[in-house]
Structure 1
Amino acid sequence: MNVKDVLVAQLNANLENTWFVALLNSIEGLTEEQAQWKPDDTAHSISEIVNHLIFYNQRYLNRFNNVPNPKNEDSNTFKNRDGMNWNDKVKRIYDIMAEWKNTVEEAEPINLEKMVAEIAHLTLHTTYHTGQIIYIRKLQDNWDSKDGVSG
């Protein structure tokens, strides 16, 4: 298995359940209200976590594709920067993750070598936050263990 195969497998695991729950499966079926819910004032909502994932995944995808990123004037990466509603966020993160997978599949190995660590860390970062999303859904009592995680 080469670097490209590993990165594609990691990116695919964020799109579809493998031996853990994919990001897209963790947010499927949520309402705007469920996505905005927080267990307390110190926690982030699922919607805020998705904002954060959109922010970083898009920035790194732009960097990989040599597209300039807008200047980051606000350090709060959990903020809804584009004023999107929940359904728009779900579509946006899906599109970004699918574009990542396609970009890596089509990339020349020399280009992957330059950012292999960043891409690997990005997929781990996404998986970490997917676990948070599932935990929040369990706190809301709206996660069905048949969707991938029991207990």
Structure 2
Amino acid sequence: MRLEDITFEQAIWKPVDAMNSIWELVCHLLFYEKRLLMRFLDETANEPQAEDNKSTFRLPLHDAYHIGQIVFLSKIQGAVDDRSKFS
């Protein structure tokens, strides 16, 4: 599965209003990836500071959780063949 294969309509679709769309999940992930990169580059003057590194170490779990949501939303829309490989 590649995000390039998701149509705009699929990206903004929500099964219920209380859930996030693929679009919203990707934007959320990009926001946190940018914060991690800025922290890595030590360019955090305008970024909120974490009290400790626990938040940094949780990012892989955070990403995996939301990527799972993206895959789920893709599958229930028929955008992903169950036999397809993820790349």
Scaled by the length of structure 1, what TM-score is found? 0.47
Matched residue of 2:58: which SS?
A: helix
Matched residue of 1:138: which SS?
A: helix
Q: Does 1:53 align with 2:38?
A: no
| 1:134-149 equivalent positions in 2, closer than 5 A | 134-148=71-85
Deviation at 1:70, TM superposition (A): 4.5
Pick from 35, 39, 45 the counterpart of residue 15 of structure 2.
39
Equivalents in 1 of 2:46, 2:13: separation in Å? 29
Residue 58 of structure 1 aligns to which amino acid in structure 2?
Answer: K
Distance verdict in 2 for CA 1:26–1:124, change over 3 Å: farther
Deviation at 1:147, TM superposition (A): 2.5
**Contact 2:22–2:70 (8 Å) recurs in 1:** yes
Structure 1, unaligned stretches of length 5 or more? Answer: 1-24, 73-114
| 1:2-151 equivalent positions in 2, closer than 5 A | 25-68=1-44, 70=46, 118=56, 120-148=57-85
Q: Percent identity?
A: 39
**Contact 1:26–1:133 (8 Å) recurs in 2:** no
Structure 2, unaligned stretches of length 5 or more? Answer: none
**Contact 1:26–1:134 (8 Å) recurs in 2:** no
**Contact 1:59–1:69 (8 Å) recurs in 2:** no
Equivalents in 1 of 2:34, 2:9: separation in Å? 25
Equivalents in 1 of 2:45, 2:24: separation in Å? 20
Greater RCO (CA < 8 Å, at least 6 residues apart): 2
Distance verdict in 2 for CA 1:132–1:45, change over 3 Å: same
Matched residue of 1:147: which SS?
A: coil
Shift >4 Å, 4+ stretches: 69-72
